[in-house]
Structure 1
């Protein structure tokens, strides 16, 4: 894991280094899908341009969860596989990345 990820106080990594808990924060353009790609790229030591675009894995569901969210009482979450990680994103912005490959 690179130093940027290690310095982020919102990232909690399990001792096995296979489960990452973080809070998605908006990028400059405000797209949470970009943030998902950035987290995975950082975990894998790659540039985001080396990864498959997130929308090919999940379309715009991640963006819609934040741009037009259901009521908070719905406690909505999205779960999908992307670049060897099983990713769960909760409506409140918390996310879990589990290495599966």
Structure 2
């Protein structure tokens, strides 16, 4: 194992995907629901921030189709004792 540039924001339950030499990390919980988009440049070994998601959320999924990163689903609040306020949405990250 080799240590690389540390992640700027410690959090859990974020979504990640890879496009080329970039690792995208979206949202998560830190302990608040985050809308952050942080991108790791593998070649430069550095992180930078980009436009946040429309809503902070955790437990989301992220994927790349062709050259297009997508973020879908997740939860953004504790609705009641029965469970989370689940989100049924799909957003494309504009490159």
Superposition TM-score, scaled by structure 2 size: 0.32
Q: Per residue, is there more strand in 1 or in 2?
A: 2
> Which of 1 and 2 has higher RCO (CA within 8 Å, sep 6+)?
1
Q: Per residue, is there more helix in 1 or in 2?
A: 1
Larger radius of gyration: 2
